[in-house]
Every structure is written in C-alpha cells, then in structure tokens.
C-alpha cells in the first residue's frame, strides 16, 4: 500500500497489476495517487485524506465494491467514485451508478478514458457546474491545437453542443473524431450522465443486438445472466457514441434505425420496454453516401444520424498545429519517463511539418513519443527520421542477391512475404500505429495481425 499525505486520487483494487497500471496512467498526467489493496483499507485512507476522486474495483475479497461505495457515500459524501468492472459485469456498474457512483470504466480500458473520467470527477468536486458549452474552446484547443482549421471545427461544435441533435462526425482515422465526440458530451447538457462508447467494427453480427440492447437470462445459449446493453447504459439522459458507424453490419443498422425511430428498446428475449432519453453521436472515416466501401449503408439510417454533421480536418491540412502537438506529446513522454524536459529542434519540426501523416494525429503522437524515448535532451531530425515508417520498411529489406541462386519455390515464398510485410506496415502507418484498426483495414483478425507483425520485427532484428 502506497500513500501520499493528501492524494489527488485513491485507487482501491486488490489486483496489484491493476493498481500499478492506474498509478502509472495518472502519474503520467501529474496526479498524485494513493493505493489500497482492499475495501476496508481504502475506507480508512479516504477518511483520513479526503481524496479528490476514487477509482474503485467492484470485485474485492473483503468488501464488495458496492459495499465500499455505500460507505463512501456516508463518510465522504462529496467524493466522486468511478467504479471499475470487467466487460461481462457492466450491469454491476450500472447498479453502482444508480447507487451514487460518478462514472464507470470497463476493463480493458484506454489510458485516455481513465484520465478523462478522473479529471471530470475532480472538476465536479472542485467547481460548481458551468453552463453547457462553457470552456469548450479551451478544452478542444488544449488537445488539438489553435490554428484556423481547429477554430472552424470549434465553431461547428458550438452550433450544436446545446441541442439534442444526432451528430455525425466525419474524418480520417486518427484525426480526432473521438476527441470531438467526448467534448460534445462533456461540455453539453448531458455531461453529468455517462457517455457510452461502442466500436461498431469490433463485434460479430450475431451479437450486435445483444450488445446494443442487452439480453435476458436464457435468451440464447451462453446467456447465463441478465445483461444490460449499451443503449440501456445511456438510456437515462446519457450519450451513446457509435464509433466507425460505417462498419456496422446490416442487422445492426436495422436494429439501430428502429431504436432511433421508436426511442424504445427491448432486451433480447425480453418483453419489457426500455424508453430511451439519449443523445446519439456517430463517427465515420468514409463517406457513407458516396464511398463504394460504404454502399451497403442504409440511407434512412444515414439521415437519422446526420441531423448535423461535423468534419474533423486531417493533420496534413493544418501543419500550423504540428509544433503545438509535438511539444504536447513530448511533455507526455517526459512525464512518463520522469526525466528532464525534452526539447525539439527546428529541423526536426520542419521534418514533421513536411510529412503527410496518413495516420494523422495518432501517428504523429507515436512518432514523437518514440523519438522522445530515443533522445537524451533534444529531439533532432535524425531521431524523427529514424521513427518514420519508411525506416521500418528499409530495415527489413533483404538484398536481392541473397535470393539469386534460390529455387523458384523459395523465391515465390520470399516475394509473398515481402508483399505481406509491406501491406502490414503500410496499414499500420495509415492506422497511426493502432494495431486493431490496421487489422480491420486488412480484413484479418487481431491475433493474426500481431503474429505477423512480430515475425516482421524478428526478421528486422536478424537482418539490420
């Protein structure tokens, strides 16, 4: 158990690996953290230190998370509690929110989601609620930059932020669509309720309706308990964010259209209606009307989702923001490494501005953070160039002379490996380093993609 005199955040979790992960994530953004490995110990620390926020696991050996939450509500009524639950126990998180929890996180979670939830919780405790839309400009520019393209983006957001319009957020992979969606929620009138994220490309067709609407116990083989779906989690004044909506299968499109038209859903196998009071945000990286890859997308659903449309600019169209973003990512790297401040040289910035960034801001972040890891106190053009995708491809090239005398079969196999390698590395670059997105782009499963990428990396090490 680790303690600070007055922690900013208290983590209560019996899993030491999870405590370490959360401590690292929060320390990376400058927050102090106290830890407790059991509910009783957590209550004692909370009573002594009055933390600004609590991250609470729902399953612990001595006291359950629900019991700890109830006691925290009594002894530290104003402290916001964020509960942590496994993917299969979302219903427990919903019950916790109804019992007074501020928000919930589902394992596995993204680092940014942890930081976002904690900051919102701390802001709720430390300041009176502001007007919807207040501080939107500051929040977006602090993450995306200050150039004219971002100012125009914010102007688009300000038009719709205080409404309940469904918003379609368009932009390339890695451009910042999720930042826009979460900003619309956090600074809008529904900020006090959950924003539920659903990746439309990450679920098989047979389970779409169960994921959307939940299921009753016994609804199908393997449905051993009742489970609430994503729409029900956001049903009471919340927001649902449908990421990469263009990947949604036909069955899912039909179910979604029905839910949006009727504003009533039913769990799979259930008969009790669940009324929806939600705001719908959706994101796409393709033109759902004109793009051939999205030709199967229902026009009637498109018009339901696009009551208002926002276009997120690609990074290559706003090079004026690259210096700001690069310095922000270097600051993150410095905090993660707990080292000296890392500077970036003018020639390195020029190189970053000249690159087209097919993976947008996500790719820039990966390159800058890798360069910051390599540098001692300054990031130069040499470090930046070494972290660009081209250097990776060059490193794994095998001289043609090595295959000159090989049998035809071996030459064919070698050529196939080259094509496969280039396809994988190109997809990874376009996805900004996001392996799951790259796997979807190549229409292969994530496990296969990782295996092939490891093989490429192994060959690169063996043939420097």
Q: For residue 458, what are the contacts with CB-CB under 8 A and spacing of at least 6?
A: none
Q: Please state whether beta strands 277-284 and 236-243 pair in parallel, antiparallel, or not at all (unpaired).
A: parallel
Cα 283 → chain centroid? 13
What confidence score (pLDDT) does residue 93 get?
63
154-168, 204-218, 410-424: the lowest-pLDDT one:
410-424
Q: Quick one: what percent of the chain has pLDDT higher than 70? A: 82
Closest CA to 73 of 95, 54, 58: 54
Distance CA 283, CA 196 (A): 14
Phi, psi angles (nearest 5°) of residue 45: -65, -40
**C-alpha of 355 from chain center:** 25
- Average pLDDT, stretch 168-186? 93
CA 217 to chain centre: 30
What's the rounded Cα separation, in Å, for the pair 246 and 455? 31
Q: Which domains does the chain carry?
A: 9-126 (3.40.50.2300), 136-313 (3.40.50.300), 316-387 (1.10.8.60), 398-462 (1.10.10.60)
Three-class SS state of 283: strand
CB atoms within 10 A of CB 138: 11
Phi, psi of 462, rounded to the nearest 5 degrees:
-75, -20
* Cβ pair 132, 189 in contact under 8 A: yes
Reported pTM: 0.60
- Comparing 446 with 142, which gets the higher pLDDT? 142
Tens digits of residue pLDDT in 9-41: 999 998 888 999 898 888 877 788 899 998 888
Helix (H, G, I), strand (E, B) or coil at 242: strand
Q: Are 59 and 65 in contact (CB under 8 A)?
A: yes
Can you give the pLDDT at residue 309? 94
Q: Give the confidence band of 143 by pLDDT, cuts at 50, 70, 90.
A: very high
pLDDT in tens, 371-416: 988 887 889 999 999 888 753 333 334 444 445 556 666 666 666 7
Residues whose CB is less than 8 angstroms from the CB of residue 17 and which lie 6 or more positions away in sequence, other chains included: none
Confidence of residue 333 (pLDDT cuts 50, 70, 90): confident
Residue with tokens 């919930």: 104
Which spans in 7-77 are helix H?
Answer: 16-27, 39-49, 65-75
Q: Could you read off the pLDDT of 335-356 as tens digits, one per residue?
A: 777 767 678 999 999 999 999 9
d(CA 351, CA 329): 16
Q: What is the per-residue pLDDT for 400?
A: 46
């Amino acid at each position: 158990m680790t303690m600070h005199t007055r922690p900013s955040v208290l983590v209560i979790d019996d899993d030491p690996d999870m405590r370490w992960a959360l401590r690292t994530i929060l320390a990376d953004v400058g927050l102090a953290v106290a830890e407790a490995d059991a509910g009783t110990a957590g209550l004692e620390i909370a009573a002594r230190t009055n933390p600004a926020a609590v991250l609470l696991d729902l399953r612990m050996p001595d006291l359950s998370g629900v019991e700890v939450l109830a006691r925290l509500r009594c002894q530290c009524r104003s402290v916001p509690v964020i509960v942590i639950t496994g993917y299969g126990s979302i219903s427990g998180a919903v019950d916790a929110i109804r019992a007074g929890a501020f928000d919930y996180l589902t394992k596995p979670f993204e680092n940014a989601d942890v930081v976002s939830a904690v900051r919102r919780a701390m802001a709720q405790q430390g300041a009176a609620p502001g007007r919807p839309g207040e501080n939107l400009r500051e929040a977006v520019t602090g993450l995306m930059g200050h150039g004219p393209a971002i100012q125009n983006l914010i102007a688009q957001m300000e038009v719709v932020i205080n409404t309940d319009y469904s918003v379609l957020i368009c932009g390339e992979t890695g451009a910042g669509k999720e930042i826009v969606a979460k900003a619309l929620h956090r600074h809008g009138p529904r900020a006090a309720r959950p924003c539920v994220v659903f990746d439309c490309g990450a679920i098989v067709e047979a389970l779409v309706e169960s994921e959307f609407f939940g299921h009753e116990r016994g609804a199908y083989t393997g449905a051993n308990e009742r489970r609430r779906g994503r729409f029900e989690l956001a049903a009471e004044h919340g927001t649902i964010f449908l990421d990469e909506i263009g990947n949604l299968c036909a069955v899912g499109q039909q179910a979604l259209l029905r839910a949006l038209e009727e504003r009533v859903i039913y769990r799979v196998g259930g008969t009790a209606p669940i009324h929806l009071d939600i705001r719908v945000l959706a994101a796409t990286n393709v033109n759902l009307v004109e793009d051939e890859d999205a030709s199967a997308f229902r026009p009637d659903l498109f018009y339901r989702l696009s009551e208002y449309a926002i276009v997120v600019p690609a990074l290559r169209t706003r090079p004026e923001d690259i210096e700001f973003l690069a310095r922000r990512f270097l600051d993150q790297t410095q905090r993660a490494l707990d080292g000296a401040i890392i500077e970036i040289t003018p020639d390195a910035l020029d190189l970053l501005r000249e690159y087209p960034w097919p993976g947008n801001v996500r790719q820039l972040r990966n390159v800058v953070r890798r360069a910051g890891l390599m540098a001692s106190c300054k990031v130069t053009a040499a470090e930046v160039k070494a972290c660009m995708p081209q250097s990776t491809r060059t490193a794994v090239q095998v001289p043609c002379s090595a295959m000159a005398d090989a049998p035809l079969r071996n030459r064919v196999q070698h050529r196939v490996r080259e094509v496969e390698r280039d396809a994988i590395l190109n997809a990874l670059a376009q996805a900004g380093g996001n392996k799951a997105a790259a796997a979807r782009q190549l229409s292969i499963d994530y496990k296969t993609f990782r295996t092939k990428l490891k093989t490429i990396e192994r060959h690169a090490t063996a043939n420097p």
